[in-house]
Amino acid sequence: MQNVFLKTERLTLRYITQNDFAELKTMLQDKEVMYAWEYDFTDKDVQEWIEKNLEYYKKYNLGFFIMSENKSGNVIGQAALKQDIIENNQYYEIGYILKKEYRHKGYAAEAANVLKNYAFNTLNLNEVIFEIRPNNIPSLKVAENLGAKICGEFIKNVRNKKMPHLIYKLSKSVEV
């Protein structure tokens, strides 16, 4: 299937398409799923999310990807590797959004790990970051378990709301 970006033992990461609107809507409009963002998306926001990712794919072959279980085929969330600019510095960021019923099963860590390996081994990057809200303990643990360390913090302006974020950096090691 040409729509596949990466696969792991349990997961497939594939490119978002217009056909994913309903799946993305269930995730992005769920207050519990989007708690760290402090807002849920409108239908228009979901469509713009799709269009933004389609544009990222064309420009960089990166963005948010649909994450599905190999065993069941169920869509369980999204995982991302994408460029980001924070305070005039360019980074490559790894991110993840999981449906609540698939949390705490190691999926975010598995997706982040395969994206890290892709970044280091295929893109030949020397580092990746995670932007994480300080109160998002599960995401902090995923980054820390992969070996990422806090290297800074910044305020992200999201819908005119100032939201503190920590920057966790993971550097390529000789063993990778």
What local confidence, expressed as pLDDT, does residue 2 receive?
61
Structural contact between residues 60 and 44, judged by C-beta atoms closer than 8 angstroms: no
pLDDT of residue 1: 41
For 14, 101, 113, 117, the CA distances from 8, given in Å and listed in that order, are: 12, 20, 10, 11
**Average model confidence (pLDDT) across the chain:** 93
SS3 155: strand
Q: pLDDT per residue over 2-56, tens digit each?
A: 699 999 999 999 999 999 999 999 999 999 998 888 887 999 999 999 999 999 9
What distance in Å separates the CA atoms of residue 135 and residue 128, rounded to the nearest whole number? 21
**Structure confidence at residue 49 (pLDDT):** 96
CA 16/CA 143 separation, integer angstroms: 24
pLDDT computed for residue 173 by the predictor: 78
Asked whether the predicted pLDDT for residue 174 surpasses 80, the reply is no
Q: Is the pTM of this model over 0.85?
A: yes
Confidence at residue 38, expressed as pLDDT on a 0 to 100 scale? 83
Domains along the chain with CATH numbers:
4-171 (3.40.630.30)
pLDDT digit string, tens, across residues 73-131: 999 999 999 999 998 999 999 999 999 999 999 999 999 999 999 999 999 999 999 99
The residue type of 11 is L
Decide if pLDDT at 155 tops 80.
yes
